[in-house]
Chain A
Amino acid sequence: MVVGDDLLLEVKDLKTQFFTNQGVVKAVDGASLRIRRGKTLGVVGESGCGKSVTARSILGIVERPGRVVEGEILYRRSLDGNGATYEELDLAQLKPQGREFRAIRGSEISMIFQEPMSSLSPHYTIGNQIAENLLLHQEMTPEEAREQTIELLRQVGIARPQLRVDAYPFQLSGGMCQRAVIAMAIACRPSLLIADEPTTALDVTTQAQILDLIQSMQQELGMAVMLITHDLGVVAEVADDVAVMYLGRVAESADVDTIFHDPRHPYTRALLRSIPRAEGAIRERLNPIRGMVPDPFNRPSGCVFHPRCDAMEQGICDGQAPRMVEVAPDHWVSCWQTTE
């Protein structure tokens, strides 16, 4: 059972929709997640599953024409440093542009994105941008901000930080830019860092460095991490808990070992069977998932996965959407077949 003070953020039945000319896209259609204080939640899914939109909904930065239409995003702000006493805020109710949200965004909950080059403005030095975050949220002089920026750059492993602080993003490589972005995100010691595919655009060796960095920062600052990725390997390496998303809903969520060794949802199982592994046999036949991710305008009825599911039962799975059921302590599945 998740202890009360263990839970940092809880998303309940979140629905985020995009109102386009061609119709309404239900990017997130009833997703529920739990992020524990100080732990890493890996959110896995393929394109169109809504994981990025979920992250943006939490931070109130969903682009137009989308917006959160339903659900709760319960953030437990600690009042004493370790979560024993806290106040609960529903972020879905706050005005996205409002002052309250802006005070949280960037200082208590931060986000880093996939393309480090586009996360940084090319017009300002990285020192300038990191210091901006500090000055926005904390009381300090520009000189103090600069000092702290140099220290942050050192913490994220950028060599010769006192020189690099005045560098422009185009002068740095992809890996270094991502480190700078991480420095910017952790500058105010957030309690939650959301990382949206932070390593997808990087080389494998650089990816290892960055993941290593995120993990060490997590330990140092005691912050929770919500890591969004499509790479199951990355999730296996760094996550404590995992949520598997498909077409706007959470199919299954549990701790990482359970997901990989005792998956119950047919999608999770099929996904694990279909990925190529470095330890697999050479030229061994892979087991792809049948069919294709459906068009977002054309969502299947009932359980959204049913057209591709081997365990599908006519009349049940294509009728009503299944609810998330706790099949074992902290192991939630939304599947008619598993939870009957």
Chain B
Amino acid sequence: MTERKGTENGKLLQVQGLRMHFPIHKGGLLRRMVGRVKAVDGVNFYVRHGETLGLVGESGCGKTTTGRCILRIYEPTDGQILYREVQGSTVDLTQVEGGALDRYRKEIRMIFQDPYSSLNPRMTVLDIIGEPLRNFEGASGGELEDRVAEMLRRVGLRPEYIRRYPHAFSGGERQRIGIARALALSPRLVVADEPVSALDVSVRAQVLNLLVDLQDELDLTYIFVAHDLSVVRYICDRVTVMYVGKIVELAETEALYREPLHPYTEALMSALPKPDPRLRSERIILEGEVADPANPPSGCYFHPRCHYAQDKCTHIEPELREVQPGRYVACHFAEELSLRGVTRSRRDN
């Protein structure tokens, strides 16, 4: 299953030096800026056409903010987002303004995390999925209904449900509606922001399968934001691990899980509860809490919690380096450490 249809494996999107700082205001009448939340603080990565790139991390790591910057929901403080268009030319999305952005809003779409707040409870399924078709392509009447019905079928829902309101559907079904809305215009790149986190365990499988199927059918490229490492393994070709606004590791999924190169990645994998009591092992328990993006530690952001930290880590921030072909790590001691990944178990169900 790791064989992907090799359309052209060029870079579809490249993010360089992306920074997103939110100002913190204090005071009444004349608000002063007293600090900044560095939600995303210098992020570099690229996504190839047809692949799925995972953005993984815990709360405050900046993965959701990165996704939203790509869609220009937020205005990035700094950096470039280079998007390769169909004709082959590249455009920096951070420089596109106003109306011109519409063109890219058709090709880059988002699937939201919360199936309850991402659907307007006062609009019918037809209205919700039809909204992008109405606005971008001027569809209406019978043609609109047909296209929406087609999308519903594609995501595994009955077309008769077109007149229903979101409260008629369960979480998993709502998420399917959200997926249908995202894919209605046949986009090229889809940012999926934790699409299964809010769903029941048994429903996750259905939605994940659906996403994989649709990717093959419609030749989509995914940026998959998640905090759950077990989900990421199923759908991502490459994975980026983020911590407090920075990328700490980027690698192909298989390689990452077999042998992580960054202590944080190791801790994340170790903390993951394995659904098999026979796999209980000594887990790495990190000290302290996830660092505060408004007030990060000096040097390497992870050093206060790192079991392998040394003096150098307190002062000098490590750069994201390519230590092996295709493997990037931001750690001073990446080459020396020998870290534990996730062991493969023999599935004996």
Contacts and interface: CB of A to CB of B under 8 A. Distances in A.
A147 B116 CA distance: 45
B144 interface: no
A176 interface: yes
Interface in A168-191: 173, 175-176
A175 B289 contact: yes
Contacts of B155: none
A143 interface: no
Interface in A13-50: 46-47
A178 B94 CA distance: 41
A186 B201 CA distance: 30
Given A231-B201, A276-B234, A278-B342, A237 B274 contact: yes
Contacts of B267: 205
Nearest to B60: A203
Given A204-B227, A230-B200, A280-B233, A288 B205 contact: yes
Given A47-B200, A203-B59, A282 B275 contact: no
Contact of A176 (B237, B285, B289, B343): B289
B271 A204 contact: yes
Q: Sort chain B's interface into a size bin.
A: 35 or more
A207 interface: yes
Given A279-B343, A292-B170, A233 B273 contact: yes
Interface string A268-309: 011111111111111111111100110000000000000000
A205 B202 contact: no
Contacts of B275: 232-233, 235-236, 260, 272, 275, 277
Contact of B202 (A204, A274, A283): A274
Q: Interface centre among A47, A205, A232, by most B CB within 10 Å?
A: A205
B295 interface: no
A282 B227 CA distance: 17
Nearest to A274: B205
B280 interface: yes
B2 A276 contact: no
Interface residues of A, number: 50
Interface string B141-171: 0000000000000000000000000000011
A234 interface: yes
Contacts of B200: 46-47, 230, 293
Residue in A203, A211, A276, A287 whose Cβ sees the most chain B Cβ within 10 Å: A276
A158 B277 CA distance: 29
B97 to A, nearest CB: 37
Contacts of B349: 269, 272-273
Contacts of B236: 282
A86 to B, nearest CB: 29
Interface string B206-239: 1011001000000000000001111101111100
A256 interface: yes
Interface string B238-268: 0000000000000001100100000000011
B130 to A, nearest CB: 24
Nearest to B348: A261
B253 A282 contact: yes
B34 interface: no
A239 B347 CA distance: 21
Given A47-B200, A283-B2, A209 B234 contact: no
B59 A282 contact: no
Nearest to B213: A285
Nearest to B173: A292
Interface in A148-207: 173, 175-176, 203-207
Contacts of B68: none
Contact of A283 (B1, B285, B342): B1
A232 B273 CA distance: 8
B203 interface: yes
Contacts of B254: 282
Contacts of B294: none
Interface string B273-292: 11111111001111001100
A287 B205 contact: yes
A208 B271 contact: yes
B82 interface: no
Contact of B209 (A206, A207, A282, A285): A285
Contacts of B234: 276, 280, 282-284, 286
B273 A230 contact: no
B272 interface: yes
A271 B231 CA distance: 15
Contacts of B347: 280
Nearest to A289: B202
Contact of A277 (B1, B170, B274): B274
The residue among A260, A271, A279 with the most chain B CB atoms within 10 A of its own CB is A279
B253 A286 contact: no
Interface string B326-349: 000000000000000011110111
Contact of A288 (B173, B202, B277, B280): B202
Interface in A204-230: 204-209, 211-212, 230
Given A261-B348, A278-B230, A284-B1, A205 B290 contact: yes
Contacts of A211: 273
B1 A281 contact: yes
Given A208-B270, A274-B205, A275-B201, 6 more contacts: A208-B283, A232-B275, A260-B278, A276-B230, A279-B279, A280-B233
30 contacts: A47-B200, A205-B286, A205-B290, A206-B290, A207-B273, A208-B283, A208-B286, A211-B273, A212-B283, A230-B201, A233-B275, A235-B275, A269-B349, A272-B349, A275-B275, A276-B228, A278-B229, A278-B269, A279-B279, A279-B344, A280-B234, A282-B1, A282-B236, A283-B235, A284-B1, A285-B1, A286-B204, A288-B202, A288-B205, A292-B203
List the 3 closest pairs (A to B, CB-CB), nearest first.
A233-B273, A288-B205, A286-B205
